[in-house]
């Protein structure tokens, strides 16, 4: 169990609520902000089997998990997706598919609905063809537009998820109008979080403060105009907020991510900790991993916190911020998240923000997820 001073709290009453299954890291896209591990090809030959994924879902349900996300990479590249969705529905999960839309067809959408899929989150880059190609690394806009319409035609509740960057932030009014015309229930305009490829491209991707303020005003105007027709979430980068995000409601509090090879992670970015040996569902029961694993207990609660977190009256709101961001920017996950203005490392964030105010460099400097490790768009199902 969690060590003294690190009690689990919040919605799960000490148990996981949300289960994210990263079924595969294969993907037909080459997004310049891809959040998958940069060594994702290493996972390809060791993916869990259908039976192993089903056992993971059963164990997590017994622990108390209620919501399940099927993600990747691109989860539709798994031919057993319908089987997994059907079993998740049978077990009582609320099921959500997180997809690029590439790999979906009308027939497959019908099969997934029949299997019990409740909700779809469709990743989208832009309504402008050139911008979508630039950010996704392949020409996929028309296919995505068609699949967005097909998802709504099947009657699925849907989130249109648009990672916001300097390249598409000026297109927010057009994106909002498209979402409203399509009839989606939710539009998530989430500024990119800077991990993996997004961190490599941070200088080119991060919007300026002025662009963010303009976009926020456009979102507010659209909310008034559209009313209840469309719920719009606008998530600004914590680089501009002065306080860190409450990442996953705290490390090991309510969330479980299972990587394609069966590694169990407190969040999808935790594999950034190269010095940690993550437990694996092939070697240990999930209950034992969740309650007793040194990895999951590492940053639970507040006993691990350094100053200024330990004496901060906001520590129960932000839980010290993101451990992965602290690691990637300061070299140690033990440090206060540098997104916090109280952090002794906050100057690293300030430097990045200052760079973002400069004129953008040529688009050719964007580093795409490596094409040699992806999946051919034309051969995707």
**Helix, coil or strand: residue 379:** helix
**Cα separation of 302 and 321, whole Å?**
11
Q: Is 27 annotated as a binding residue?
A: yes
322 is in an annotated binding site: no
How many helices (DSSP H) and strands (DSSP E) are in the chain? 14, 9
In DSSP terms, which residues pair with 120 in a beta bridge? 97, 158
DSSP state of 188: E
**Residue 129 near residue 103, CB atoms below 8 Å:** no
Instruction: Supply angle C-alpha 96, 140, 180, rounded to 5.
Output: 60
Rg of the chain, C-alpha, whole Å: 20
* CA-closest candidate to residue 138, choices 282, 244, 302, 27: 27
CA distance 292 to 297: 7
Sign (positive or negative) of CA dihedral 85, 324, 367, 218: positive
Tell me if 31 is assigned to a ligand binding site.
yes
CA–CA distance, 346 with 129 (Å, rounded to integer): 37
Beta bridge partners of 71: 22
Question: Residue 199: which residues within 8 A CB-CB, separation 6 or more?
Answer: 328
CA distance 49 to 35: 23
Residue of 138, 134, 98 lying closest to 119 (CA atoms): 98
Contacts of 136 (CB under 8 A, 6+ apart): 29, 30, 31, 100, 125
* Residue set of the binding site: 27, 31, 34
* Residue set of the binding site for [4Fe-4S] cluster: 27, 31, 34
């Amino acid at each position: 169990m969690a060590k003294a001073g690190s009690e689990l709290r919040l919605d799960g009453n000490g148990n996981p609520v949300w289960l994210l299954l990263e079924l595969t890291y294969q993907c037909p896209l080459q997004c310049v902000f891809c959040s998958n591990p940069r060594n994702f090809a290493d996972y390809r030959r060791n993916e869990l089997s259908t039976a192993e994924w089903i056992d993971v879902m059963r164990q997590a349900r017994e622990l108390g998990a209620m919501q399940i996300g099927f993600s990747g990479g691109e989860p539709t590249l798994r031919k057993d997706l319908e089987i997994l969705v059907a079993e998740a529905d049978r077990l009582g999960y609320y099921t959500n598919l997180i997809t690029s839309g590439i790999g979906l067809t009308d027939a497959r959408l019908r099969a997934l609905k029949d299997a019990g899929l409740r909700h779809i989150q469709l990743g989208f880059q832009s309504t402008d063809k050139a911008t979508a190609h630039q950010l996704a690394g392949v020409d996929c806009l028309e296919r995505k537009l068609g699949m967005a319409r097909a998802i709504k035609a099947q009657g699925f509740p849907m989130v249109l998820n648009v990672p916001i960057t300097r390249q598409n932030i000026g297109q927010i009014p057009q994106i909002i109008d498209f979402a409203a015309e399509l009839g989606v229930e939710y539009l998530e305009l989430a500024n990119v979080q800077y991990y993996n490829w997004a961190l490599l491209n941070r200088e080119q991707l991060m919007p300026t403060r002025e662009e963010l303020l303009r976009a926020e005003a456009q979102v507010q105007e659209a909310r008034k105009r559209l009313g209840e027709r469309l719920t719009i979430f606008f998530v600004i980068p914590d680089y501009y907020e002065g306080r860190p995000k409450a990442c996953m409601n705290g490390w090991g509090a309510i969330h479980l991510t299972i990587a394609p090879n069966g590694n169990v992670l407190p969040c999808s970015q935790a594999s950034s900790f190269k010095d940690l040996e993550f437990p694996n569902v092939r070697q240990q029961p999930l209950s034992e991993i969740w309650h007793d694993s040194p990895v999951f207990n590492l940053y639970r609660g507040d006993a691990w916190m350094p100053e200024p977190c330990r004496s901060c009256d906001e520590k129960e709101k932000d839980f010290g911020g993101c451990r992965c961001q602290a690691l990637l920017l300061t070299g140690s996950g033990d440090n206060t998240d540098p997104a916090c203005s109280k952090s002794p490392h906050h100057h690293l964030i300030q430097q990045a923000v200052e760079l973002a105010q400069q004129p953008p460099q040529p688009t050719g400097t964007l580093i795409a997820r490596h094409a040699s490790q992806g999946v051919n768009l034309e051969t995707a199902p």
